[in-house]
Amino acid sequence: MYYVDSHCHLNLKKFSKVAEASSSGDYSIDAIVERAKNAGVEYILNIGTELSDIEEMQSISMSYDNVFHTIGIHPLEAQKHHQQYSLDEISRIIKANCNDEKCVGIGEIGLDYYYTKESAKEQKELFELQLANVTLDPVTASLPSETYARCTCNNIFVRHPEERSDVGIQNNIDSTHASKSALAYNEDGGEAINASQARTAVCVHSREAEEDTIAILRNHPGVTGVIHCFSGSKEFAFQALDLGFYISISGVVTFKSNVALQEIVKSIPLDRLLVETDAPFLAPTPFRGKVNEPAFMVHTAKKIAELLGVTADEISSQTSENFFNLYPRAKKFRRYIVQNPVF
Ligand SMILES: [Zn+2]
């Protein structure tokens, strides 16, 4: 049994800044990842918030087998990026870095009218731009919806049901190599995944901006993702679910007073739920007010299990499965690969 922290900010500067201000202890990434593992939080998704983070995110992902990252511009950073970069430059930087093998998605992106309503225009513009970059991903943009496989040589093959042949669609592979690799895939346990789930997913931050968030997401059909640290209305949750999105629950669900969110959690299908810390922020009870870290996620998961009347085991296995379905690029690094190839 293990958990996945689907959203945190391991970025050292941010973490240590909060840590210094509020408590003592070892907040090196080594120590944080180690404590997470000891607590059963086996995988961690480190979420980007600005373009200047990217290099550091990549190097953290390189250092730990069990850490992935996303890249993107947080809505609270929208104005700053607007001043520093042209829209073309932003697209270029995202495109150049989103196919890094441990970059599993774009995020966090979205709208925040709670803190920075005055930059709503810039936020919307960047949200749209980053969503557009998801569909521009050269590997996934052209994928049809047939089942395909990523073989261990990291090429992607599509199976055309009528032709009964496997066609390499990446790196201009000729069909001979394609069928050879499909065979190799069979033998060495590469993984079959569904094309509709293989697109880069987005991690969406939305605060007091439900209507605009949904309206913009509807402009980008086919983009899947997650509404992270969900704190909205039931209606918003259902609209997001209808768009195929997952809902991620943070430690705020453990706060006694948060009855509204606890009620919403009960109505979200278990196969669309994710759990996160949003560390170093929002530590769950009994650590409320302290510096949050991935190891604390277990308390959030237990609370969700209690609300849904299921076991912690069920929460751990289903939410981990959900994570790898939403971010299929992470599957390659999963220790326990499903051995059920379709070819
Ligand atoms: Zn976050």
Cα 143 to averaged position of ligand 1 atoms, centre (Å) = 29
CA of 230 relative to ligand 1 center, distance in Å: 11
**The total number of structural domains that make up the chain:** 2
For 15, residues 6+ apart whose C-beta sits below 8 A from its C-beta are: 9, 27, 29, 32, 279, 280, 291
- So what's the pLDDT on residue 22? 67
Residue 125 has which token pair?
A: 């513009």
Phi, psi dihedrals of residue 153, rounded to the nearest 5° = -80, 5
* 338 is a domain residue: no
How much distance in Å is there from the Cα of 23 to the middle of ligand 1? 20
CA of 314 to the centre of ligand 1 (A): 25
CATH number at residue 59: 3.20.20.140
22 lies in some domain: no
- Give domain status of residue 5, yes or no: no
User: In this structure, are 116 and 264 located in the same domain?
Assistant: yes
Domain range holding 190? Answer: 147-194
The type of residue at 279 is: A
- Separation of alpha carbons 137 and 261, rounded Å: 34
Q: Are residues 299 and 267 in the same domain?
A: yes
Residues 176 and 118 in one domain: no
CA of 282 to the centre of ligand 1 (A): 10
In a domain, 184, yes or no: yes
Q: Give distance in angstroms: CA of 212 to centre of ligand 1.
A: 19
Say how many Å lie between the CA of residue 252 and the centre of ligand 1: 13
Same domain for 155 and 82? no
**pLDDT at residue number 333:** 85
Q: What spacing in Å lies between the alpha carbon of 259 and ligand 1's midpoint?
A: 22
Evaluate whether 159 touches 343 at the Cβ level (below 8 Å). Answer: yes
Question: Do 158 and 292 sit in the same domain of this protein?
Answer: no
Write b or e for each residue in 172-205: b if 16 or more Cβ atoms lie within 10 A of its Cβ, otherwise e. ebeeebbbebbeebeeeebbbbebebbbbbbbbb
101 in the same domain as 55: yes
Side-chain half-sphere CA neighbours of 83 within 13 A: 4
Q: Tell me how far the alpha carbon of residue 322 lies from the centroid of ligand 1, in angstroms.
A: 19
- Look up the pTM and report it: 0.81
CA 133 – CA 178 distance, rounded (Å): 28
The answer to the question of residue 14 being in a domain is no
CA of 46 to the centre of ligand 1 (A): 9
Q: Which of 155, 179, 194 is the last residue of a domain?
A: 194
Q: pLDDT per position in the chain (343 positions), as tens?
A: 899 999 999 987 777 777 777 666 788 899 999 999 999 999 999 999 999 999 999 999 999 999 999 999 999 999 999 999 999 999 999 988 887 889 999 999 999 999 888 999 999 999 999 998 775 444 444 444 444 444 434 444 444 333 333 444 443 333 433 443 343 333 334 444 333 334 578 999 999 999 999 999 999 887 889 999 999 999 999 999 999 999 999 999 999 999 999 999 999 999 999 999 999 999 999 999 889 999 999 999 999 999 999 999 999 999 999 999 899 888 888 874 433 333 2
The residues that bridge with 248 in the sheet, in sequence order, are 274
Q: Same domain, yes or no, for 67 and 174?
A: no
